[in-house]
Every structure is written in C-alpha cells, then in structure tokens.
C-alpha cells in the first residue's frame, strides 16, 4: 500500500466531532423546509438526517458544525476525495472560459478522452459521452447493443442495480423500485449472480461448480428455456447496491465465455465499481475479462460534476449521428474535473492504495464478525465493503432493522454509512479513496460500537 502522506492534508484532521446530536437545529430547519417544499421521493436525508455545509477529503461537515468521517462518499462518487484541490483548481481554471459544449470538441474534452483511452483495454477503443447521469450511460449501452443486433431481449442479474430511467430500471432487480411502475422494458430476464453467502443452488465454496453461470448457459442453449436469444447481458463485475458482492474468480470469465459462445454482447457496468474503487482502475480487471461495452459515471466527474459515458469496441460503432443525443452531454467543467481526477488517481496510485487499505479494513471487519452474533458476512474488495447483518448466523435470517439502527448510531457518533443488499440488511462502506488509515480505524471503531449496541437489543 503506497500511503500518500498528502492524504492527511485532504480531510478535516479533527474528525469526528459531534457538537450537537444530529439532526441539530440548523439541520432540522433545512430538513423541515425540504420536506414541506420538495417531493416525497427525496430519500438520503430520511436515513441520514442532516443539512450539509462543507466537505473535505474523507470528511463531511453538517450545518450544525458536526464533522463526520465519510464511509459513504456521496454514493461512491468521491473517489479522489471531497474538494480535491487538483480537481478544484482544474475546474476554476475552466470556469470563466467555457462551461457548456453539447458534443462539440474542446481541449478539456480531448484531454479527458486521451487519458481515459490510455486506461481502457485496447479493444475498448471508442468513447461516447451520454447525459449527465449513470442511468443514461446504461440506456446508451443498451441502445448501442440493440442497434448492432436483430435481437431484442436482455439478460440482467439478480441483485444488480443500473439506475432509475425506464431502461435502466428494467435491468435493476429490486422489486420495490418497480412496484406500481410496470410495465417497463419488455424482454428482460434475470439470472442468478454469484451471491455465495446465499447461494441459490445450495452450494458452498468447497462444492461450488459455478452453477449460477452454468444456468445462463442452460437458458441460452435450451430452445425450450422460454428465453429468446438476447442481444446483451449487463452485469456489475462486483455488485454494489446488491450488497458489495464479490463473485468468485471463475464467475466473470465463465459469463464472458458463455456470452461469446451464444453471440451475446457483454455490458459491464462500472458506474459504481470503476475508477479505483475496488483496487483496480476498473473492477472487471480483477477477473481478466474485457467487456464489449462498459458504462462509467460517478467518480469520473472528479468532485461530483455530472458526466457519464460508455466505452466500446470499434466494430460496434455503427450508429449514425444523433442516435443518442441529449442537451447535457458535454459539461466542460466535468471534463476538466474528470481529467484532473484521473491524473490524481494515477499519480497517487489510488487503485493500489484502495486495494491495500481495503484489505486492512476487511481484516478488521472479519475480526469484528468473529465476535458478533449479528454479522453474517463481512466482504468486499478495495474500498467497496459491506457487512451483512442477520438475526441468526445459522438461519441467516436478514436483519434490515439492525442495519438501519447501525446507520443511525454511526451517524450519532460521527460516521456516515449507507445500506444496501437484497434485504436492505447490508451496511455498505464506499469511502473516498483518500481515506487515511487513522480515519479508517476511527470509523471502524464507531461501527463496532454500533454493532454491539444493535446486538444488545437482540
């Protein structure tokens, strides 16, 4: 692990500081105003009630002066840290030159594409920018795949999350997200992901024969499987919202082989796992595969500037001008931010740092798991970590109420965490990757106390 000393300067050094139990009076005022004037679909402040004031590195300050250690990272956006000085300098340098460009070329756009293509595998030699959010990259990936094929159906994976626009939502497995909204895109079929803690085939690591991947082969092979040959399969190399699920090494290569055998394009969604999050520039690199199409967003915007895109093989570049347009496909500040962020990632070996600190944090979590009655499994790769909470380690009955209790206790004590997983029972850590080891340790101690408190209510 190449600990970059400068990382210490990036965060508020005194974190965590709780001056007033959150939500404090100023936060309450903002929250009340928000709930009286904004729509009820607003979600994050329901779990972490506070108004935000400033953020630096891996720390966040609320409007009441509380400073938190951030294990949430703006939902996996802040890989280079909040207010990263390199990113802010690049953005302020660009601010009074040009900010909106549709898809006209500009120097910041070209600079970003040059670095990006140098990081991508050689075969992903085309880059295309989409609307500002990750979901739009998913829409574009699906459109591109369909445009290149006479097939129409799609394969997605259980536990997968790809966004909220109609196509992306169709490919996301969460039932609650879709309730009362059906029908969405027709012809999407969900198959099992390698969620080994709850293997649908009842296997354990010793008996595993990657039945989940074989199942895909079976439905593509058997003319009576009920599934028309699909145009593409979309997968997260490491699942994020599904609960920080790392598949065994053989899973992704098997999926890739099966897709190739059946002429199905493989779309790998790197929107959350990409850009050093899991200890590699892109998560698929852990498994020695290269997708046909890759989606990207979140950390590409450096400091939360909106940007999304796809990278794909040149042979697929058959669509004509205007086939996927949109007003906001060229935020020049996001290009400048992204370019600075990628350079920062390379200069600081952020992928290596994330891998090393992630291993350390996972070993601390595994120690806590041993002594805990409610941790079913601590898992993850790099700094995409998750702790699955259960009521009973033998029955594995999910414990979503413990997860939300832990999130609240952590918040009260100065640590921000999020919740995900099939049963909303996984406490997820997606810290800015510039998290120092000291802050990581302090955060884990707060988390451990929160686990003990939840366990006490068993």
Ligand X SMILES: Cc1ncc(COP(=O)(O)O)c(C=O)c1O
Binding site for ligand X (CB under 6 A): 75, 133-135, 138, 161-163, 236, 240-241, 269, 271-272, 297
Nearer of residues 407 and 413 to ligand X, judged by Cβ: 407
**Helix, strand or coil, per DSSP, at residue 264:** coil
Q: State in angstroms the smallest separation of the CB of 45 from ligand X.
A: 17
Question: Residue 136 or residue 377: which is nearer to ligand X going by CB?
Answer: 136
Give the nearest distance from C-beta 267 to ligand X in angstroms: 11
**Cβ contacts of residue 411 below 8 Å, gap of 6+?**
22, 48, 49, 50, 68
How far lies 368's CA from each of 365, 443, 446, in Å?
Answer: 5, 13, 12
**Is residue 157 within 8 Å of 235, Cβ to Cβ?**
yes
- Which residue, 116 or 156, is less far from ligand X as judged by CB? 156
Provide, rounded to whole angstroms, the least separation between the CB of residue 254 and ligand X: 21
d(CA 386, CA 426): 6
Q: How far is the CB of 235 from ligand X (least distance, A)?
A: 10
Is the CA virtual torsion 189, 250, 345, 66 positive or negative? positive
Tokens representing 62 are 């609320």
Q: Which two structure tokens, joined as six digits, stand for 403? A: 């997860």
- Alpha helices, DSSP H, located in 204-271: 211-221, 251-261
Q: Nearer Cβ to ligand X, position 252 or 446? A: 252
Backbone angles phi, psi at 210, to 5 degrees: 50, 45
Question: Among residues 429, 445, 455, which one has the least CA distance to residue 375?
Answer: 455
Kindly give the interhelix angle for 350-371 and 332-347, rounded to the nearest 10 degrees. 70
| Residues contacting 429, CB < 8 A, separation 6+ | 71, 72, 244, 361, 380, 383, 384, 385, 386, 387, 417, 443
Residue 281 or residue 444: which is nearer to ligand X going by CB? 281
Describe the crossing of helices 332-347 and 85-95 by its angle, rounded to 10 degrees.
Answer: 150
Please spell the DSSP secondary structure of 51-117, one letter per residue.
-EEEEEBTEEEETTS-EEEESSHHHHT-TT-BT-HHHHHHHHHHHTT--B-TT---HHHHHHHHHHH
The distance of closest approach from Cβ of residue 167 to ligand X in the complex, given in angstroms and rounded to an integer, is: 11
Nearer to ligand X, 159 or 414 (CB): 159
Percent composition of the chain: helix, strand, coil (DSSP 3-state, to 5): 40, 15, 45
Least distance in Å: CB of 352 to ligand X?
23
Q: Is 300 exposed, middle or buried (0-12, 13-18, 19+ CB in 10 A)?
A: buried
**Cβ of residue 99: shortest distance to ligand X, in angstroms?**
20
Closer to ligand X by Cβ: residue 133 or 348 = 133
CA 23 to chain CA centroid, nearest Å: 27
Cβ 174 to ligand X shortest distance, Å: 11
Give the nearest residue (CB) to ligand X.
134
- Least separation, in Å, of the C-beta of 379 and ligand X? 17
| Nearer of residues 307 and 342 to ligand X, judged by Cβ | 307
Q: Please, what is the minimum distance in Å from the beta carbon of residue 135 to ligand X?
A: 3
Q: E strands within 226-319?
A: 232-235, 265-269, 293-296, 309-312
Choice between 44 and 201, CB closer to ligand X: 44
**Residue 297 or residue 348: which is nearer to ligand X going by CB?**
297
């Amino acid at each position: 692990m190449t600990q970059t000393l400068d990382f210490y300067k990036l965060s508020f050094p005194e974190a965590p500081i709780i001056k007033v139990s959150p939500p404090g009076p100023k936060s309450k005022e903002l929250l009340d105003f928000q709930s009286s004037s904004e729509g009820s679909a607003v979600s994050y402040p329901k779990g972490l009630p506070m108004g935000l004031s400033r953020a630096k590195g891996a720390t966040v300050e609320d409007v009441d002066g509380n400073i938190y250690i951030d294990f949430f990272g703006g939902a996996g956006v802040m890989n280079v840290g909040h207010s990263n000085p390199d990113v802010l300098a690049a953005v302020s340098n660009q601010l009074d030159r040009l900010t909106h460009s549709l898809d006209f070329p500009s120097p910041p756009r070209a600079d970003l594409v040059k670095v990006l293509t140098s990081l991508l595998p050689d075969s992903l030699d085309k880059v295309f920018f989409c609307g500002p959010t990750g979901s739009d990259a998913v829409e574009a990936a699906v459109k591109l795949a369909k445009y290149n094929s006479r097939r129409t159906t799609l394969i997605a994976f259980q536990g997968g999350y790809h966004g909220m626009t109609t196509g992306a939502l169709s490919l996301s497995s969460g039932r609650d997200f879709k309730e009362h909204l059906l029908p969405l895109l027709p012809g999407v079929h969900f198959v099992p992901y390698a969620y080994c803690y709850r293997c649908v085939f009842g296997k354990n690591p010793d008996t595993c024969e990657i039945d989940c991947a074989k199942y895909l082969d079976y439905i593509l092979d058997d003319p009576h499987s009920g599934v028309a040959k699909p145009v593409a399969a979309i997968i997260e190399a490491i699942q994020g919202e599904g609960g920080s699920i790392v598949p065994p090494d053989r899973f992704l290569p098997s999926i890739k082989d099966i897709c190739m055998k059946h002429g199905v394009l493989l779309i790998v969604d790197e929107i959350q796992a990409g850009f050093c999050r899991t200890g590699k520039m892109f998560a698929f690199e852990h498994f020695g595969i290269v997708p046909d199409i890759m989606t990207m967003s979140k950390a590409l915007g450096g400091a939360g500037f909106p940007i999304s895109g796809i990278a794909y093989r040149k042979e697929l570049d058959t669509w004509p001008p205007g086939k996927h347009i949109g007003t906001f496909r060229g935020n020049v500040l996001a290009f400048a931010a992204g370019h600075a962020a990628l350079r920062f990632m390379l200069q600081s070996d952020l992928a290596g740092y994330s891998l090393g600190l992630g291993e350390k944090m996972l070993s601390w979590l595994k120690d806590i798991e041993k002594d805990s009655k409610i941790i079913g499994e601590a898992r993850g790769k790099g700094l995409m970590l998750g702790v699955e909470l259960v009521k009973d380690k033998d029955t594995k009955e999910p414990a979503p109420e413990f997860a939300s209790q832990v999130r609240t206790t952590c918040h009260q004590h100065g640590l921000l965490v999020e919740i995900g997983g099939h049963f909303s029972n996984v406490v997820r850590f997606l810290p800015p990757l510039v998290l120092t080891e000291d802050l990581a340790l302090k955060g884990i101690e707060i988390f451990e106390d929160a686990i003990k408190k939840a366990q006490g209510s068993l």
